Amino acid sequence: MFGKSTFFNYIVGKRISIVEDKPGVTRDRVYADANWRGRDFTLIDTRRN
């Protein structure tokens, strides 16, 4: 199992979001441009409420 930030980093292809073993580490929104199967988009990592 993995969290949102790990998935975010996987999709964008580099470590941008901080990843920890405990939930709730992401504080601010993190934006990154990505491409998946030929489609460009902006991905946003947000904190868990």
Sequence spans of domains, the chain:
4-45
Say how far apart CA 47 and CA 27 lie, in whole Å. Answer: 6
Block residue for tokens 């790990």: 6
pLDDT for 4-25, tens place per residue?
888 888 999 988 877 766 666 6
Using the predicted structure, report yes or no on whether residue 33 has a pLDDT greater than 80. Answer: yes
Residue 39's pLDDT is 95
Burial of residue 45 (CB within 10 Å: 0-12, 13-18, 19+) is: buried
Block residue for tokens 């901080």: 18
